């Protein structure tokens, strides 16, 4: 890796993630690590492991996965309602409505 080709460096679990493609261990005998150190010396700024936007995006993905799981886990209430006529509890209807709203946001 040539230091002139480095555009971004992030902290990633005790290593550097260079240009979002290559993990570089922080060992002195590693030429890639030496190139990162030179890049930093020349004014490059190491970013946090995740930016605030990336953390927000990860949280949104997690919430959407949970919403989808809730919908999948409660589908049987509607099947039961069709099969035997037992009404879906209001809290399930409300939770499913919120989950669909999140998924459609």
Sequence-ordered alpha helix ranges (H) in 4-51 = 31-41
Domain that holds residue 7: 3-47
Query: pLDDT tens for residues 10-19?
Result: 988 889 999 9
Residues found in the chain: 105
| 25-64 pLDDT, tens digit each | 999 999 999 999 999 999 999 988 877 888 888 899 999 9
Structure tokens at 78: 């509607």
Examine the domain organization and report whether 32 and 61 are in the same domain: no
Q: Are residues 68 and 42 in the same domain?
A: no
Compute the distance between CA of residue 31 and CA of residue 67 in angstroms, rounded to an integer.
46
The torsion of the CA quartet 72, 77, 79, 80, rounded to 10 degrees, works out to 150
* 56 in the same domain as 41: no
pTM tops 0.85: no
Instruction: For Cα atoms 8, 51, 67, give the angle at the middle one, nearest 5 degrees.
Output: 135
Is residue 60 one of the residues assigned to a domain?
yes
Has residue 105 been placed in a domain?
Answer: no
Q: How many domains does the chain have?
A: 2
């Amino acid at each position: 890796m040539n230091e002139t080709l480095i555009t971004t460096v992030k902290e990633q679990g005790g290593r550097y993630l260079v240009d979002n493609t290559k993990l570089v261990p922080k060992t002195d005998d590693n030429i890639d690590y030496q190139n990162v150190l030179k890049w930093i010396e020349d004014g490059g700024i190491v970013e946090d492991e995740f930016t605030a936007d990336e953390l927000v995006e990860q949280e949104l993905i997690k919430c959407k996965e949970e919403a989808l799981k809730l919908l999948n886990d409660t589908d049987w209430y509607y099947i039961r309602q069709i099969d035997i006529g037992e009404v879906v509890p209001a809290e399930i209807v409300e939770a499913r409505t919120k989950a669909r709203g999140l998924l459609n946001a």
